[in-house]
Copies of this chain bind each other. A is one copy, B any other.
Amino acid sequence: MTVQTRTTKVGFIGLGIMGRSMAAHILKAGYELHVYNRTRSKTDDLIAQGAISEESPGDLAAVCDVVITIVGYPADVEEVYLGLDGLLAHARPGAVLVDMTTSSPALARRIANEAADKGVAVLDAPVSGGDVGAREGKLAIMTGGDEAAFEAVKPLLATMGGTIVLMGGPGAGQHTKMANQIAIASTMMAVCESLAYAEATGVDPERLLGVIGTGAASSFLLNGLGPKIVARDFAPGFFVHHFVKDMSIALEEAERMKLDLPGLSLARELYQKLVDGGFDEEGTQALYRVYTGFTSRGTTG
């Protein structure tokens, strides 16, 4: 299938919607790719394309020079990296491990420190750009950790991303992603409240978006998700439950730093209502439901 043109052996753990597209780019770029996923069937496509299946994170770590992970929650990151059959216990000396999960900055620092003691580098490198960015290989990759390790894996990251930036030491990638999610949180309230107000007054919401979407109120979310809200299209681009996870991590970190972020707190509170209402598998634009008493008809995908 693919002609192997590179000597670096790459491992990939976490073949969800994002991970599958990202791993496929690595394979296409000519790397030998070893894959592991908790749900085994998700590796089938990649194995058909030439990837090699591994039995556990530890088995995968034992044969790879670089390992990429993108799993669900901080608890999953902790298990994959620090578990008995995890990456740190079996990584080769000199290996570079890259966690692309959106996860806790504090956990990223802890893992990087434990890894350094074993002569292994761990970078935190969460992404933005969603499933489309992953498919097109144009993710923004926000990296924290050792500079030499970053430079070593940059060509590999470049198969998946457009913007690839080292933001600082361990945890700085996660902090950057948190700052991104914090900006999104209150902007989503902005979009929903503006549209809820307009619709309540009887102003045509599409005409409204046409006017305010070109000026000071405009944003990627207003212009991108505003029309979906008007159409009551709540299908997920980014899941409510993932966003709640991200906001919760950001609030924990802010509390640790004694930083009060009332907009973020309010946004999480409103999104929690969505979760409680059973809408956690919808997209983040479903926040609009909170403003209409959850009565909006809507499609979920």
Q: Which residues of A contact B (CB under 8 A)?
A: 105, 128-130, 140, 142, 163, 165, 167-168, 171-172, 175-176, 178-187, 189-191, 193-198, 200-204, 207-208, 210-212, 214-222, 224, 238, 250, 253-254, 257, 259-264, 266-267, 270, 291
How far does the alpha carbon of A250 sit from the alpha carbon of B264 in the complex, in Å?
22
Given contacts A186-B190, A221-B216, contact A200 B266 (CB under 8 A): no
Contacting pair B219 A250 (CB below 8 A): no
A-B contact pairs, 22 of them (CB 8 A): A128-B217, A167-B207, A168-B204, A176-B203, A179-B201, A180-B215, A180-B217, A183-B217, A184-B190, A185-B190, A186-B193, A187-B217, A187-B219, A193-B261, A193-B263, A216-B220, A216-B221, A218-B220, A219-B220, A219-B221, A260-B291, A263-B263
The majority secondary structure among interface residues of chain A is helix
Nearest-neighbour CB distance to chain B for A31, whole angstroms, equals: 25
Given contacts A130-B216, A218-B220, contact A179 B165 (CB under 8 A): no
With a CB–CB cut-off of 8 A, which chain B residues contact A221? 216, 219
With a CB–CB cut-off of 8 A, which chain B residues contact A167? 203-204, 207-208, 211
Nearest-neighbour CB distance to chain B for A264, whole angstroms, equals: 6
With a CB–CB cut-off of 8 A, which chain B residues contact A218? 219-220
